[in-house]
Amino acid sequence: MQLMSTVRRHKMSSAASFDQEAHRIAVASVRRHSMDSDSWKHTVIGELHPGIAAIWELAPNEQVIASGFFSKANWWAITTRQVASKFQGEASTLDPRFGIESEFGNFKGIKRSEAPEAQATEVATVKLSSGAAQVRFEFETGKASMAPIYGCMFWSRASRFHYGSSGA
């Protein structure tokens, strides 16, 4: 019985250290590329937005890289284990440890001739590299867009945290 307890504790500690290391690196990257985060209306770095915390639960040891909340029907979270969202009332999730690709459209919110006012939000599409799953979510444009962009960029580039590597 003692041996089994030691094995379980080791596996849990490995999962916890994986999450801690991925979180530390990803959040540092998001912060490094972000400006004026105190002025963001819907987006936070390194924690679950309070609006999401009331309606969605993390797995044990899972840590948040960035998240954004507009309403109970429109929110997103990038964590050490998933990209999750509720977009237009539809919930979806994918595991970024399989590798992802992402598109953020007009993330700067630049005015266009067909829309003369600056865009406050845009819709992102995040897909598994294999194309097997997709998540869409609304995000804040402008400076706040760096949080989901660099959160996803971490999962696109940090192959040592992907399944099949020595880290995951």
Per-residue confidence (pLDDT) for residue 10, from 0 to 100: 35
**What pLDDT was estimated at residue 56?**
95
Position 142 scores a pLDDT of 87
Neighbours of 30 (CB within 10 A): 23
Instruction: Answer whether residue 1 shows pLDDT above 80.
Output: no
* Extended beta strands in 15-167, E state: 43-45, 64-71, 74-79, 83-87, 90-94, 100-103, 121-128, 134-140
Closest CA to 91 of 55, 121, 122: 55
Q: Which band of pLDDT confidence, cut at 50, 70 and 90, is reported for residue 21?
A: very high
pLDDT digit string, tens, across residues 59-101: 999 999 999 999 999 999 999 999 999 999 999 999 999 999 9
Percent of the residues in the chain that have a pLDDT greater than 90, as a whole number? 62
**12 vs 16, higher pLDDT:** 16
Encoding tokens for residue 159?
Answer: 């192959």
Confidence check: pLDDT of 8 > 90? no
Give the pLDDT of residue 159. Answer: 82
